[in-house]
Amino acid sequence: MADDSAHLDILNTTAQGQLKSIIERIERLELEKSEIAEQIKEVFAEAKGNGFDVKVLRKVVRLRKQDRAKRQEEEAILDLYLSALGEI
């Protein structure tokens, strides 16, 4: 950015303010996201300390996000494939 003043002339004052506001909101949300990720990590560590299998807990959380019918359909197809392979 050799000449910042030349670039500032491209955006009017309103657009500059909007851009700054958007960037600051994104930065705040990114910070909140990292703080929440850290809290989730702590909860999983607590669960592990209480003897729960973290890998399975993550799978349960992922499955609960899915639509029940969609999940059941996927499980049926999985069972079909495993059965065809002689795995179950």
Place of tokens 């955006």: 11
Rg of the Cα atoms in the chain = 24
Low-confidence ranges of the chain (pLDDT < 70): 1-9
52 in helix, strand or coil?
A: coil
pLDDT score, position 88:
79
Residue 8's pLDDT is 57
Residue in the block written with tokens 């910042």:
4
The pLDDT tens digits of the residues spanning 11-24 come to 788 899 999 999 99
pTM for the structure as a whole: 0.68
Residue 71: Cβ-neighbour burial (10 angstroms; 0-12, 13-18, 19+): middle
